[in-house]
Amino acid sequence: MTALDTGVSAAAAARTRVDVTLRVNGMERSATVPAATTLLSFLRDTAHLTGTKEGCGSGECGACTVVLDGKPIRACLVLAAECDGAEVTTIEALAASGELHPIQQAFIETGAIQCGFCSPGFVLAAWCLLREKADPTREDIDTALSGHLCRCTGYESIFAAVRLAAARRREGRWR
């Protein structure tokens, strides 16, 4: 490769980098990243928040779910640059005090966490659901968790966890 080639490649690479600033779990995170960087990669590789998991990488498993401006989304399908200026919540925020969130506790108690790879996505989806519906129906839970795959639990324990967390919230044991 000639010096000219190298210069052209470097210039091209420079043109494809973008500045991104996100507010993640209440903290501002800024970086200059390749334009093709997904939100998932930004969170894991730049912000070093590895609680968000990469499963399929193509929007089919839900393992990479985070909350973007209040809504659960698949972080593998969104470019970090598209989220510039947005508010992102990851699983790390739920236990920020050092104690498990009541939804996480419910998952453990019902056996809904086994290998745990899918759990951050399920827990964040449940968190979003319970913020909107205090007493979700089976259908509500089905809808909220649809597209989230778990290879270990058979799902019933996950539904039980969401119902348990909801019941405890209605009893005033968490907000």
Residues that bind ligand FES (CB under 6 A): 54-57, 59-64, 74, 76, 113-119, 150-153
Q: Which is nearer to ligand FES, 21 or 114 (CB)?
A: 114
- Residue 45, Cβ density class (10 Å: 0-12 exposed, 13-18 middle, ≥19 buried): middle
Q: How far is the CB of 125 from ligand FES (least distance, A)?
A: 12
Strand partners, 62: none
Q: How far is the CB of 2 from ligand FES (least distance, A)?
A: 40
Query: 89 φ, ψ to 5°?
Result: -115, 130
Q: How far is the CB of 175 from ligand FES (least distance, A)?
A: 27
Contact 64, 76 (CB under 8 A): yes
Q: Which is nearer to ligand FES, 24 or 118 (CB)?
A: 118
Of all helices (H) and strands (E), which one includes residue 4? helix 3-15
Q: Which is nearer to ligand FES, 88 or 150 (CB)?
A: 150
